[in-house]
Amino acid sequence: MSRCLLVQFSGRSRGWARGIGTYSSSSVVDEPITPPVKITDTQLLINGKFVDAASGKTFPTLDPRTGDVIAHVAEGSAEDVDRAVAAARKAFDEGPWPRMTAYERSCILLRFADLLEKHKDDLAAIETWDNGKPYKQAAEVEVPGIIRLMRYYAGWADKIHGLTVPADGEYHVQTLHEPIGVAGQIIPWNFPLLMLAWKIGPALACGNTVVLKTAELTPLSALYAARLLHEAGLPPGVLNIVSGPGPTAGRALSSHMDVNKLSFTGSAETGKVVLDLAAKSNLKPVTLELGGKSPFIVCKEADIDQAVELAHLALFFNQGQCCVAGSRTFVHESVYDEFVEKAKARAMKRVVGDPFKPGVEQGPQIDAKQFEKIRSYIKFGIESGATLECGGERYGSKGFFIQPTVFSDVQDDMLIAKDEIFGPVQTISKFKDLDEVIRRANKSHYGLAAGVFTQNLDTANTLARALRAGSVWINCYHVFDAAIPFGGYKMSGFGREKGIYSLSNYLQVKAVVNPLKNPAWL
C-alpha cells in the first residue's frame, strides 16, 4: 500500500479534545483517476426507448471527488412520469410480460444477470464515479451482489403459486397469486445498483411492470443496467426509468392514480410524504425502508481487537452513508477505555482518498449538502460536550472528503446520539449491564438494525430477542444475502425487501370458489 494513501497522525490534544489527530492532505484527492468507461445513457427510459424529457431540461450529476460535472441527465417531470406510467400500464394490460410463462420470465432475468456479469467492470466504475464509494467495494461486493440477487429472483419466477383450500360445504377452493400491476419504485443515492436490484427483482419475477425513479444524485448506473435488461429480452414498457427531483418526479409517481403499488427507500421525513401522497391518491399499498440509528453493543467478555474492527466496519462502511450503520456504539464499562483508544487508532489508520486508487477505504461524501450536514453534526457533538477523539475536519482540498471521526463520552440526549448523521462519525457510549443497554438501545424512533459482539450465547440470545430492530447481527455486520429479509421496526419503515418475504409486496391473492357437482367424490 502506497504511503501517500495512508491517513497520517501527527497532532496533539487541544482544549475540548483528547489526543486529536490531524490528517495530512494528499495528492490522491487533488489528482483523481479518470474512470475507463464512457457515459452514454443519460436520457429517460420510456417504453423501451431512451428519450429526452418532455421539457428538454437536463441536470448535472457530479463527481463527488471534485464536484465536477460527469454528465447532464434528462430531468423528468410529472409529464414524464405520466408517459412512463402509461407505458407500464399498457405493457401490463396488453403486453406479453404478465402473460408469458414464468419460466420465460426467469430466462430473461437470467440472461440479464449474465450481461451484468459481462459488463461488471463498467458497472463498478460508473457506480464509483457517480457515488464516490471505493471501487473495490463496488467491484467485489455490490456488483456481484446484484448479479446474485437477479439470479435469486429469476429462480423464484416459476415457483410462485397458490393453494387449494379445504372449505365447509361442497366447494372446490383455490387461491391464485397474481401480479399487482404497475409498481412505482423510488431508490436512494447511497447504493444505486443494489437498490435497483432489490426493487425490480421481485417486481419483475412476479410479472409486474415498473416505473422507477432514480436518485437525482446518482442516476447513471441504473440507466446503464436498464439497457442491459432490454438487451436480455425485456419487452418494451415493462421497466421505465425517470430521473428527476423528488418534489416533482417523486411526488408525481407517489400520487399517480394508475400506479398500483409503491416502494420507497430513503429518509423517514420523505417517507411520510410518500405515504401521505399514496393514501390521498388511490390508497395504493406502500413499502417503506427508511432511516436508522442502529446500536452496536460490545459486551464485557468481547475480544476487543475484533470488536473494534467490526464496530469500525459497522459505522464507516460506504463513508458512513448507510441506513443500517452501527452509529451508536455501546461499550461495557469494563472494556470501555481500551476500546476507545483502539477505535481511535483504527480510525486514524483509515485510508481516505480517490476511491479508484488501490488501498483506499473511504471516498468522498455524496455532495456538498451532505458534506456540510455531517460537519454541522460534528460541531454539535463538540458543543454538547462529547470528546472528539480524532477527525472532525475536511480531508484534502477538493471534493467532499471528511476525516474519519470518533467521539467518546457520548450521552443519549446529544444530537449525535439521536439523529441519523449518515457520515463517517462514530459515537461511543458506556454501559453497565444488559438491562441498561437494552433500554437505551431501544430508546429510539428507529429500529432498522442492531449489532452485538459477545462470546456468551445467553447474552447473544437475550439481546437478539430484546432489541427492537428488523435485523440483528451477532458477531458480524452488513451481511446482505439475497435470501435474508430486510426491513425495519418503528420509524424505520414497514414491509420487507429481499428473500421470499419481498414477493408478497408485488402479488395479489385471489380466492376462486367452484361448487362441486358430484359431492360423492369428496
Determine phi and psi for 280, rounding to 5 degrees: -75, -15
Burial label for 177, CB within 10 Å (0-12, 13-18, 19+), is: middle
Residues whose CB is less than 8 angstroms from the CB of residue 373 and which lie 6 or more positions away in sequence, other chains included:
421, 422, 423
Point out the residues that are catalytic: 289, 323
DSSP for 394-409, please give it.
Answer: B-SSSTT-B--EEEES
Angle at the Cα of 149 from the Cα atoms of 148 and 154, rounded to 5 degrees: 100
Written as nine digits, the cell of 447 is 429500529
Nearest residue to 209 (alpha-carbon basis) of 45, 66, 76, 358:
45
pLDDT one-digit tens code per residue, 206-231: 999 999 999 999 999 999 999 999 99
Would you say 155 and 113 are in contact if contact means Cβ atoms under 8 Å apart?
no
Residue 8's pLDDT is what?
28
Lowest mean pLDDT among 129-143, 167-181, 489-503, 507-521: 507-521
* Three-class DSSP category at 221: helix
Query: 183 pLDDT exceeds 80?
Result: yes
For the chain, give the mean pLDDT. Answer: 93
Q: Decide: helix, strand or coil at residue 223.
A: helix
Domain boundaries, the chain: 3-31+292-474, 44-290+492-510
Place of cell 443494489: 194
Averaged pLDDT, 83-94 = 98
Rounded-to-integer distance, Cα 244 and Cα 217, Å: 9
- Closest Cα to residue 185, out of 280, 275, 253, 111? 253
Per-residue pLDDT band at 517 (split at 50, 70, 90): confident
| pLDDT reported for residue 25 | 39
Model confidence pLDDT, tens digit, residues 137-150: 999 999 999 999 99
pLDDT of res. 152? 98
Mean pLDDT throughout 503-518? 94
Asked whether 239 and 45 are in contact (CB, 8 A), the reply is: yes
pLDDT band (50, 70, 90) for residue 511: very high
DSSP code per residue over 486-514:
B--EETTEES-BSTGGGGGGGEEEEEEEE
Average pLDDT over residues 506-515: 97
Q: For residue range 272-314, list pLDDT tens digits in order.
A: 999 999 999 999 999 999 999 999 999 999 999 999 999 999 9
> CA quadruple 34, 37, 43, 44: dihedral positive or negative?
negative
- Nearest-angstrom CA–CA distance, 25 and 20: 16
The 10s digit of each residue's pLDDT in 115-132 is 999 999 999 999 999 999
Three-state SS for 317-363 is: HHHHCCCCCCCEEEEECCCHHHHHHHHHHHHHCCCECCCCCCCCCEC
Average pLDDT (258-274) is 97
Does pLDDT of 10 surpass 60? no
Percentage with pLDDT > 70 across the chain: 93
pLDDT at 31: 80
Other C-beta atoms lying within 10 Å of the C-beta of residue 239: 30
Local structure of 371: helix, strand or coil: helix
In the 8-state DSSP scheme, what is residue 470? S
**pLDDT beyond 50 at 23:** no
Helix 457-466 to helix 434-442 angle, to the nearest 10 degrees? 30
Distance CA 311, CA 313 (A): 5
Architecture in CATH for domain 3-31+292-474: 3-Layer(aba) Sandwich (3.40)
Q: What is the pLDDT of residues 401-457, one digit of tens each?
A: 999 999 999 999 999 999 999 999 999 999 999 999 999 999 999 999 999 999 999
Q: What are phi and psi of 193, to 5 degrees?
A: -70, -45
pLDDT at 521 (0 to 100): 58
The residue with greater pLDDT, 278 or 4, is: 278
Q: Look at residue 519 in the predicted model and tell me its pLDDT.
A: 64
DSSP annotation of 442: H
Q: Please, what's the largest Cα pairwise distance for the chain? A: 91
E strands, 47-192, in order: 49-51, 58-62, 69-74, 164-165, 171-179, 182-186
Rounded distance between C-alpha atoms, residue 504 and residue 94, angstroms: 23
68: number of Cβ within 10 Å: 12
- Percent of the chain whose predicted confidence (pLDDT) is above 90: 92
Rounded distance between C-alpha atoms, residue 432 and residue 299, angstroms: 10
Q: Lowest-confidence range among 30-39, 150-159, 260-269, 314-323?
A: 30-39
Name the pLDDT band for 518 (thresholds 50, 70, 90): confident
The model's pLDDT over 350-407, given as tens digits with 9 standing for 90+, comes to 999 999 999 999 999 999 999 999 999 999 999 999 999 999 999 998 999 999 999 9
User: Which whole number is the average pLDDT over 149-162?
Assistant: 97
Q: Is the separation of the CB atoms in 509 and 174 below 8 Å?
A: no
Strand partners, 186: 213, 264
- In this model, does residue 7 exceed pLDDT 90? no
Output the pLDDT for position 30.
62
In the CATH hierarchy, which top-level class contains the domain 44-290+492-510? alpha beta
Cβ 53 vs Cβ 75: under 8 Å: yes
CA angle (38, 242, 189) in 5-degree steps: 70
Query: Rounded distance, CA 507 to CA 485, Å?
Result: 17
Give residue 462's pLDDT band: very low, low, confident or very high (50, 70, 90).
very high
